[in-house]
Structure 1
Amino acid sequence: MKLVSGQKAPSFVTKDIFGNTIDLNQIPSEKILLSFFRYAECAMCNLQIAKMMKHKDLFAQKGIQLIAVFESPADSLKSSIANRHQFDFPIIADTNRELYDLYKVNPSWLKTLRTMSVKGMQHLNEATKKGFKAGGKVEGTLHQIPADFLIGKDKIIQIAHYGNSVIDHLPLEEIF
């Protein structure tokens, strides 16, 4: 059963790609945006990270700590994400899908097929123009669908957004 707004966010303790401990209950920021992605070389995932990084000052102003979760191993995330984006947020390599399972973030072939729309193709075109390789190395579930959780300081989920396609993340305007 999917998580919903008003529900206590499932707590976790894990390591980011650099070995730093991430304890959901110990994050002091006003809010947390926990975003689930596919894999390190996913062009559309990299485009979303780039969009978020454009607004990193606004994230800081609003007291929102971003945490990104991918299925890829740490080494791949370091080379594909960390070396490409100027980021200052934890990235978690969840190769065993423990957080995906905890937050009920599931793959779907039907939702992946929905990405093959005009909007999806425009999104992919935008990603490739920015230098993100279409059809990169798949390290995880090809048909993984993204999800985003805006979590309050009290660790209650304010917004639970499960994507309807590979490009469907919680709109940044809604987060801010």
Structure 2
Amino acid sequence: MKKKKRLIMRSVILAIMVTAIVYTLYNNFTKEARGQLAIGDKAPDFILSDMNGNTHKLSDYEGEGVFLNFWGTWCKPCEREMPYMENQYQVFKDQGVEILAVNVGEPEFAINKFVQKHGLNFPILKDTNKEVLNLYKITPLPTTILINSEGIITAIESGELPEAKIKGMMESIQPH
């Protein structure tokens, strides 16, 4: 009787493991087909609040270029690129280019401390439930998506950006 129970239990565990492996493989191999965002796509619209409680709707920025950056306070590459983003924001904010920096799921206290430490003036949006992160299918942080004045994605960059690259990216989405 004990051997039979053990056999059933092992069979159930094996079935669960096989199912998990099949699901993982399926997920990885169909990632592209499930709608990974691509250059040339219309940027999905969203509404998020900033640190002052103001709401930002992406579609309200049509007519401007948007430098959409996903980041976290714990992410060292994110922290290193933030001063460069701030420098370029000061140059481009009056030239039709907006930075929307989307913090992914962190408490306001941590975000505020980070913003004060780095003297950031561009809008910091709170994606508390990671809805926009999932909508855009962002995996590594930081990831930056450039959106032109028509709302079309023109670039998707993962990883830390040097200041010269940020400057070039902002120039590329500057309305003419």
Q: TM-score, normalised by structure 2?
A: 0.67
The answer for the alignment partner of 1:115 in structure 2 is none
Identity %: 28
The answer for the alignment partner of 1:92 in structure 2 is 125
The answer for the alignment partner of 1:148 in structure 2 is 144
The answer for the alignment partner of 1:118 in structure 2 is none
Q: Secondary structure at the match of 1:9?
A: coil
One-letter amino acid matched to 2:160: I
- 1:89 offset after TM fit, Å? 1.5
| Cα distance in 2, alignment partners of residues 74 and 2 from structure 1 | 29
The count of corresponding residues between Structure 1 and Structure 2 is: 134
Change (3 A) 1:69 1:152: same
- Is structure 2 residue 109 aligned with structure 1 residue 75? yes
Change (3 A) 1:67 1:169: farther
Q: Secondary structure at the match of 2:134?
A: helix
The answer for the alignment partner of 2:92 in structure 1 is 59
More helix as a share of residues:
2
Q: Secondary structure at the match of 2:118?
A: coil
| Cα distance in 2, alignment partners of residues 73 and 29 from structure 1 | 32
> 5+ unaligned residues in a row in structure 2: which ranges?
1-34, 172-176
One-letter amino acid matched to 1:167: E
- Is structure 2 residue 168 aligned with structure 1 residue 174? yes
One-letter amino acid matched to 2:41: Q
Aligned match for 2:65, one of 27, 31, 48 = 31
CA RMSD of aligned residues (A): 2.2
Q: Which has the larger radius of gyration?
A: 2
One-letter amino acid matched to 1:33: F
Is the 8 Å Cα contact of residues 73 and 94 (structure 1) preserved in structure 2?
no
- Is structure 2 residue 153 aligned with structure 1 residue 157? yes
- 1:100 offset after TM fit, Å? 0.7
The answer for the alignment partner of 2:29 in structure 1 is none
Change (3 A) 1:160 1:42: closer
Q: TM-score, normalised by structure 1?
A: 0.67
- 1:55 offset after TM fit, Å? 2.1
Is the 8 Å Cα contact of residues 36 and 70 (structure 1) preserved in structure 2?
yes
Q: Deviations over 1:51-86 (max 9, x none)?
A: 1112223222542100101221222111122x1233
- 1:105 offset after TM fit, Å? 0.1
| Cα distance in 2, alignment partners of residues 146 and 47 from structure 1 | 10
- 1:95 offset after TM fit, Å? 2.8
| Cα distance in 2, alignment partners of residues 97 and 169 from structure 1 | 26
Is the 8 Å Cα contact of residues 147 and 169 (structure 1) preserved in structure 2?
no
- 1:19 offset after TM fit, Å? 0.9
